[in-house]
């Protein structure tokens, strides 16, 4: 049995993780953390009825017998949360996007120092991981590439972590030329690849990778239609991260 803490348990993704962990036979929800709904029953907040685990704050909850913490919070809080979890000697899955490169390096050092595993996964949907893999395979044979990522209008960051990761992976395997660099907007060039960010009500999480070559295009598209799409990946990673020492980026490293 894997003992799990969910950080951001009152949020959209956190509530989904609470429901998934609660219904899986090999995982147990022992702790829930959020800055809102503190003191309320986590199951009531997640819509599955009372489960006897109250939402608390991170500092005091870290004293519980936790094997793994799972963070789905906000780009502004994930780094601080992660440092606290790793310093307490707990394994960690980070689903929250928006971590900077230098923060990831610092977390890597901290995880090795404390002998624990941490996964930074921009996307827990298996289909999205496959889309990135296929894009890397296609890239060396095509002349140009642009990414369109489409998300709900409440998403805090743009471009998405998935789009940034896809661009990084493609740029490492293709002849597509590097562009002028990072510009913080809804259209920016990262690792030489143009990323367009669409934010609209009704969307969940979607991405198209479009390749162009002489007289032809190739489009790879993935759609997360509900947040349940991320749960098989989250549960799989929760069961495997215990065997990792140090930091890995991308769910593909645990498949």
Tell me: does residue 10 bind ligand NAD (CB under 6 A): yes
Residue 249: phi, psi to the nearest 5? -110, 125
Residue count of the chain: 255
The count of C-alpha atoms lying within 13 angstroms of the C-alpha of 239, restricted to the half-sphere facing its C-beta, is 13
Residue 32 and residue 14: Cα distance in Å, rounded? Answer: 9
Tell me: does residue 120 bind ligand NAD (CB under 6 A): no
- Within 8 A by CB and 6+ apart from 184, the residues are none
Going residue by residue from 172 to 201, which x/- string records binding to ligand NAD, judged by CB under 6 A? ------------------------------
Nearer to ligand NAD, 211 or 222 (CB): 222
Please indicate whether residue 155 is annotated as part of the active site: yes
Residues of this chain, 72-111, that bind ligand NAD according to CB under 6 A: 72-75, 77, 81, 95-98
The answer to whether residues 75 and 184 touch, using CB atoms and an 8 Å cutoff, is no
Closest distance between ligand NAD and the C-beta of residue 121, in Å? 5
Peptide bond into 84 cis (omega under 30): no
Closest distance between ligand NAD and the C-beta of residue 173, in Å? 22
Tell me: does residue 250 bind ligand NAD (CB under 6 A): no
167: Cα separation from own chain's centroid: 16
Out of 54, 152, 155, 239, which one is annotated catalytic? Answer: 155
The residues of the shown chain that bind ligand NAD, judged by CB under 6 A, are: 7-8, 10-14, 33-36, 58, 72-75, 77, 81, 95-98, 121-124, 155-156, 205, 230
Give the catalytic positions in this structure.
151, 155
């Amino acid at each position: 049995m894997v003992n799990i803490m969910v950080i951001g348990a009152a949020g959209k993704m956190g509530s989904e993780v609470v429901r998934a962990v609660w219904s899986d036979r090999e995982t147990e929800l022992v702790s829930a953390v959020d800055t809102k709904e503190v003191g309320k029953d986590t199951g009531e907040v997640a819509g599955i009825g009372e489960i006897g685990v109250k939402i608390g704050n991170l500092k005091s909850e870290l004293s519980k017998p936790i094997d793994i913490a799972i963070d789905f919070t906000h780009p502004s809080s994930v780094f601080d949360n992660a440092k606290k979890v790793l310093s307490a000697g707990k394994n960690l899955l980070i689903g929250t996007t928006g971590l900077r490169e230098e923060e990831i390096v610092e977390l890597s050092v901290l995880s090795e120092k404390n002998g624990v595993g941490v996964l930074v996964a921009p996307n827990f949907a298996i289909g999205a991981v496959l889309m990135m893999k296929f894009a890397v395979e296609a890239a060396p044979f095509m002349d140009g590439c642009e990414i369109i990522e489409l998300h709900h209008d409440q998403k805090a960051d743009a471009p998405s972590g998935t789009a940034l990761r896809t661009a990084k992976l493609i740029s490492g395997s293709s002849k597509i030329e590097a562009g002028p660099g990072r510009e913080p907007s809804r259209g920016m060039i990262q690792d030489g690849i143009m990323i367009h960010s669409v934010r609209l009500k009704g969307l969940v999480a979607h991405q198209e990778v479009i390749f162009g070559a002489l007289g032809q295009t190739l489009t790879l598209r993935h759609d997360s239609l509900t947040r349940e799409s991320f749960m098989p990946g989250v549960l799989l990673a929760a069961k495997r991260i215990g065997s990792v020492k140090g930091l890995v980026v991308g769910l593909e490293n645990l498949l």
